[in-house]
Amino acid sequence: MKNQLVRLLAVLLLNAAAGAAEASVSPSLADRIARADSAYRSLPISLSAYNSAVLEICKELETVRLSEFESSLKGLGVSFESPKVGLPLRHVEVPAPGSNTSAADAGVPIVAGYDTRGAPLYPPEGLFVDATAVYDRVAGRPRFSLRYKASVVMLNGRTYKLAVDPTGASDHLKLRAKRLAKSGFAGMIRPLSMSRKPQIYLLDPYDPNKTPLLMVHGLQSTPVAFAALVNALRSDPVIRAKYQTWQFY
Protein backbone atom coordinates (compact mmCIF):
# COMPACT_ATOMS: atom_id res chain seq x y z
CA MET A 1 0.00 0.00 0.00
CA LYS A 2 2.82 2.37 0.89
CA ASN A 3 4.60 1.72 -2.43
CA GLN A 4 1.38 2.39 -4.34
CA LEU A 5 0.94 5.73 -2.59
CA VAL A 6 4.55 6.68 -3.38
CA ARG A 7 4.08 5.81 -7.06
CA LEU A 8 0.80 7.75 -7.18
CA LEU A 9 2.43 10.79 -5.62
CA ALA A 10 5.32 10.58 -8.09
CA VAL A 11 2.91 10.43 -11.05
CA LEU A 12 1.00 13.47 -9.75
CA LEU A 13 4.21 15.46 -9.30
CA LEU A 14 5.43 14.55 -12.80
CA ASN A 15 2.10 15.55 -14.34
CA ALA A 16 2.12 18.86 -12.47
CA ALA A 17 5.70 19.59 -13.59
CA ALA A 18 4.85 18.73 -17.19
CA GLY A 19 1.80 21.00 -17.10
CA ALA A 20 3.84 23.88 -15.68
CA ALA A 21 6.54 23.41 -18.33
CA GLU A 22 3.95 23.35 -21.10
CA ALA A 23 2.33 26.53 -19.78
CA SER A 24 5.69 28.36 -19.70
CA VAL A 25 6.58 27.57 -23.32
CA SER A 26 6.20 30.70 -25.42
CA PRO A 27 5.13 30.62 -29.06
CA SER A 28 8.05 30.04 -31.42
CA LEU A 29 9.16 32.74 -33.84
CA ALA A 30 7.69 30.64 -36.66
CA ASP A 31 4.29 30.73 -34.91
CA ARG A 32 4.51 34.49 -34.45
CA ILE A 33 5.41 35.03 -38.10
CA ALA A 34 2.57 32.76 -39.20
CA ARG A 35 0.07 34.77 -37.15
CA ALA A 36 1.40 38.06 -38.53
CA ASP A 37 1.18 36.73 -42.09
CA SER A 38 -2.38 35.53 -41.58
CA ALA A 39 -3.43 38.90 -40.14
CA TYR A 40 -1.60 40.74 -42.94
CA ARG A 41 -3.50 38.78 -45.59
CA SER A 42 -6.79 39.64 -43.82
CA LEU A 43 -6.20 43.39 -43.80
CA PRO A 44 -7.99 45.79 -43.58
CA ILE A 45 -10.42 43.72 -41.48
CA SER A 46 -7.83 42.54 -38.95
CA LEU A 47 -5.69 45.62 -38.20
CA SER A 48 -5.92 45.04 -34.45
CA ALA A 49 -4.92 41.38 -34.87
CA TYR A 50 -2.11 42.47 -37.22
CA ASN A 51 -0.69 44.94 -34.68
CA SER A 52 -0.92 42.33 -31.90
CA ALA A 53 0.94 39.79 -34.03
CA VAL A 54 3.70 42.31 -34.88
CA LEU A 55 3.99 43.14 -31.18
CA GLU A 56 4.63 39.47 -30.42
CA ILE A 57 7.48 39.45 -32.95
CA CYS A 58 8.92 42.58 -31.28
CA LYS A 59 8.80 40.87 -27.89
CA GLU A 60 10.83 38.02 -29.37
CA LEU A 61 13.33 40.55 -30.73
CA GLU A 62 13.68 42.14 -27.28
CA THR A 63 14.79 38.86 -25.68
CA VAL A 64 17.42 37.59 -28.13
CA ARG A 65 20.55 38.88 -29.79
CA LEU A 66 19.92 40.80 -32.97
CA SER A 67 22.16 38.49 -35.01
CA GLU A 68 20.30 35.45 -33.68
CA PHE A 69 16.94 37.04 -34.48
CA GLU A 70 18.00 37.95 -38.02
CA SER A 71 19.40 34.45 -38.58
CA SER A 72 16.16 32.88 -37.36
CA LEU A 73 14.14 35.07 -39.71
CA LYS A 74 16.39 34.12 -42.60
CA GLY A 75 15.82 30.45 -41.79
CA LEU A 76 12.08 31.09 -42.09
CA GLY A 77 12.50 32.84 -45.42
CA VAL A 78 11.73 36.27 -43.93
CA SER A 79 13.96 39.25 -44.76
CA PHE A 80 14.86 41.84 -42.11
CA GLU A 81 15.41 45.55 -42.61
CA SER A 82 16.42 48.20 -40.07
CA PRO A 83 17.16 51.94 -40.28
CA LYS A 84 20.51 52.66 -41.93
CA VAL A 85 22.12 55.35 -39.79
CA GLY A 86 25.78 54.35 -40.21
CA LEU A 87 26.05 52.74 -36.77
CA PRO A 88 25.70 49.14 -35.53
CA LEU A 89 22.19 48.35 -34.33
CA ARG A 90 22.59 47.15 -30.74
CA HIS A 91 19.10 46.39 -29.49
CA VAL A 92 15.40 47.07 -29.93
CA GLU A 93 12.90 47.83 -27.17
CA VAL A 94 9.16 48.38 -27.12
CA PRO A 95 8.30 51.46 -25.02
CA ALA A 96 5.20 51.59 -22.85
CA PRO A 97 2.09 52.46 -24.90
CA GLY A 98 1.71 56.22 -25.26
CA SER A 99 -1.08 58.57 -26.21
CA ASN A 100 0.32 59.42 -29.66
CA THR A 101 -1.14 56.44 -31.52
CA SER A 102 -4.68 55.42 -32.37
CA ALA A 103 -6.42 52.16 -33.18
CA ALA A 104 -6.33 53.14 -36.86
CA ASP A 105 -2.49 53.31 -36.93
CA ALA A 106 -0.47 50.38 -38.24
CA GLY A 107 2.65 48.81 -36.77
CA VAL A 108 4.29 48.84 -33.36
CA PRO A 109 6.35 51.82 -32.06
CA ILE A 110 9.85 50.73 -31.00
CA VAL A 111 13.12 52.32 -29.88
CA ALA A 112 16.18 51.24 -31.85
CA GLY A 113 19.45 51.63 -29.94
CA TYR A 114 22.76 52.05 -31.80
CA ASP A 115 26.33 51.52 -30.59
CA THR A 116 28.19 54.87 -30.51
CA ARG A 117 31.57 53.72 -29.23
CA GLY A 118 33.09 54.51 -32.63
CA ALA A 119 31.07 57.69 -33.16
CA PRO A 120 32.09 60.41 -30.67
CA LEU A 121 29.61 62.96 -32.04
CA TYR A 122 26.78 60.93 -30.47
CA PRO A 123 26.17 60.39 -26.74
CA PRO A 124 28.29 57.57 -25.25
CA GLU A 125 25.07 56.11 -23.82
CA GLY A 126 24.04 55.35 -27.41
CA LEU A 127 22.00 56.81 -30.25
CA PHE A 128 18.30 56.04 -29.92
CA VAL A 129 15.71 56.55 -32.66
CA ASP A 130 11.95 56.17 -32.71
CA ALA A 131 10.88 53.70 -35.36
CA THR A 132 7.93 51.46 -36.20
CA ALA A 133 7.99 47.68 -36.63
CA VAL A 134 5.88 46.30 -39.49
CA TYR A 135 5.40 42.98 -41.24
CA ASP A 136 4.59 42.94 -44.95
CA ARG A 137 5.27 41.15 -48.22
CA VAL A 138 7.40 42.42 -51.12
CA ALA A 139 6.83 40.65 -54.43
CA GLY A 140 5.21 37.87 -52.45
CA ARG A 141 8.16 37.43 -50.07
CA PRO A 142 7.67 38.06 -46.31
CA ARG A 143 9.57 40.90 -44.66
CA PHE A 144 9.90 42.25 -41.10
CA SER A 145 11.21 45.80 -40.97
CA LEU A 146 11.82 48.74 -38.67
CA ARG A 147 10.66 51.94 -40.40
CA TYR A 148 12.33 55.25 -39.58
CA LYS A 149 11.44 58.73 -40.88
CA ALA A 150 8.27 57.36 -42.50
CA SER A 151 4.71 58.45 -41.74
CA VAL A 152 2.70 55.98 -43.83
CA VAL A 153 3.03 52.37 -44.93
CA MET A 154 1.43 50.25 -47.67
CA LEU A 155 0.04 46.98 -46.30
CA ASN A 156 -1.80 44.49 -48.49
CA GLY A 157 -2.64 47.16 -51.06
CA ARG A 158 -3.88 49.76 -48.60
CA THR A 159 -2.15 52.83 -47.10
CA TYR A 160 -2.05 53.23 -43.32
CA LYS A 161 -0.66 55.85 -41.00
CA LEU A 162 2.29 54.44 -39.09
CA ALA A 163 2.09 54.21 -35.31
CA VAL A 164 4.99 56.12 -33.76
CA ASP A 165 6.06 57.17 -30.27
CA PRO A 166 8.12 60.38 -30.73
CA THR A 167 9.14 60.45 -27.05
CA GLY A 168 10.40 56.88 -26.64
CA ALA A 169 13.98 57.53 -27.77
CA SER A 170 14.45 60.60 -25.57
CA ASP A 171 12.99 58.81 -22.54
CA HIS A 172 15.34 55.88 -23.18
CA LEU A 173 18.39 58.16 -23.36
CA LYS A 174 17.33 59.98 -20.18
CA LEU A 175 17.07 56.65 -18.37
CA ARG A 176 20.59 55.69 -19.43
CA ALA A 177 22.03 59.13 -18.60
CA LYS A 178 21.09 59.18 -14.90
CA ARG A 179 24.72 59.46 -13.84
CA LEU A 180 25.31 62.40 -16.17
CA ALA A 181 22.14 64.10 -14.88
CA LYS A 182 23.56 64.08 -11.35
CA SER A 183 26.92 65.57 -12.34
CA GLY A 184 25.83 69.18 -12.91
CA PHE A 185 27.05 70.61 -9.60
CA ALA A 186 30.35 68.70 -9.67
CA GLY A 187 30.91 69.85 -13.24
CA MET A 188 30.44 73.46 -12.19
CA ILE A 189 32.87 73.46 -9.24
CA ARG A 190 35.43 70.99 -10.68
CA PRO A 191 35.12 71.17 -14.48
CA LEU A 192 38.64 69.88 -15.18
CA SER A 193 38.04 66.74 -13.14
CA MET A 194 35.10 65.57 -15.25
CA SER A 195 35.73 62.52 -17.43
CA ARG A 196 33.37 63.84 -20.09
CA LYS A 197 34.89 66.80 -21.92
CA PRO A 198 32.94 69.73 -23.43
CA GLN A 199 31.50 68.96 -26.83
CA ILE A 200 28.37 68.90 -28.99
CA TYR A 201 26.28 65.72 -29.10
CA LEU A 202 23.83 64.83 -31.86
CA LEU A 203 20.63 63.26 -30.53
CA ASP A 204 19.35 62.41 -34.02
CA PRO A 205 21.13 60.68 -36.91
CA TYR A 206 22.84 63.47 -38.83
CA ASP A 207 20.70 64.75 -41.69
CA PRO A 208 22.16 67.47 -43.98
CA ASN A 209 18.61 68.42 -44.98
CA LYS A 210 17.47 69.27 -41.45
CA THR A 211 18.20 72.46 -39.50
CA PRO A 212 20.07 71.87 -36.21
CA LEU A 213 18.48 73.01 -32.95
CA LEU A 214 21.44 73.54 -30.58
CA MET A 215 20.60 73.43 -26.87
CA VAL A 216 23.08 74.88 -24.37
CA HIS A 217 22.48 74.20 -20.68
CA GLY A 218 23.35 76.57 -17.84
CA LEU A 219 25.57 76.31 -14.77
CA GLN A 220 24.99 73.41 -12.39
CA SER A 221 23.09 71.59 -15.12
CA THR A 222 23.50 69.05 -17.95
CA PRO A 223 21.82 68.35 -21.32
CA VAL A 224 19.49 65.91 -19.55
CA ALA A 225 17.61 68.95 -18.24
CA PHE A 226 16.25 69.43 -21.77
CA ALA A 227 14.58 65.98 -21.91
CA ALA A 228 11.03 67.35 -21.60
CA LEU A 229 11.73 70.05 -24.21
CA VAL A 230 13.18 67.46 -26.62
CA ASN A 231 10.05 65.35 -26.23
CA ALA A 232 7.80 68.37 -26.85
CA LEU A 233 9.68 69.30 -30.03
CA ARG A 234 9.73 65.74 -31.35
CA SER A 235 6.00 65.40 -30.71
CA ASP A 236 5.34 68.14 -33.27
CA PRO A 237 5.40 66.42 -36.71
CA VAL A 238 6.39 69.62 -38.53
CA ILE A 239 9.35 70.30 -36.24
CA ARG A 240 10.35 66.63 -36.30
CA ALA A 241 10.40 66.69 -40.11
CA LYS A 242 12.48 69.87 -40.44
CA TYR A 243 14.84 69.99 -37.45
CA GLN A 244 17.43 67.82 -35.71
CA THR A 245 18.43 68.13 -32.06
CA TRP A 246 22.01 68.89 -31.01
CA GLN A 247 23.11 69.49 -27.42
CA PHE A 248 26.21 71.13 -25.98
CA TYR A 249 27.72 69.69 -22.80
Would you give per-residue pLDDT tens digits along the chain (249 residues)?
A: 545 444 444 434 344 444 433 333 347 999 999 999 999 999 998 899 999 999 999 999 998 899 999 999 999 999 999 998 999 999 999 987 765 667 789 999 999 999 999 999 999 999 999 999 999 999 999 999 999 988 999 999 999 999 989 999 999 999 888 888 787 777 778 877 777 788 999 999 999 999 999 999 988 888 899 999 999 999 998 999 999 999 999
Segments of the chain assigned E as strands:
79-81, 89-93, 108-114, 127-138, 141-147, 152-155, 158-161, 200-202, 211-216, 243-248
Q: Are residues 31 and 153 in the same domain?
A: yes
Question: Number of folded domains in the chain?
Answer: 2
Rounded to whole angstroms, the Cα distance separating 167 from 164 reads 9
Of 141, 164, 187, which closes a domain?
Answer: 164
Q: Is 82 helix (H, G, I), strand (E, B) or coil?
A: coil
Residue 192 is assigned to a structural domain of this protein: yes
Residue 106 DSSP symbol: B
Q: Are residues 63 and 46 in the same domain?
A: yes
Q: Are residues 39 and 159 in the same domain?
A: yes
Of 164, 199, 217, which closes a domain?
Answer: 164
Residue 2 is assigned to a structural domain of this protein: no
| Residues whose CB is less than 8 angstroms from the CB of residue 164 and which lie 6 or more positions away in sequence, other chains included | 100, 101, 105, 109, 130, 131, 132, 151
Q: Is 237 helix (H, G, I), strand (E, B) or coil?
A: helix
Neighbours of 16 (CB within 10 A): 10
Of 148, 164, 180, which closes a domain?
Answer: 164
Contact by Cβ (8 Å): 179, 123: no
Which structural domain, as residue segments, surrounds residue 111? 26-164
Rounded to whole angstroms, the Cα distance separating 217 from 201 reads 13
Q: Are residues 142 and 67 in the same domain?
A: yes
pTM of the model: 0.81
Rounded to the nearest 10 degrees, the angle between the axes of helix 66-75 and helix 29-41 is: 60
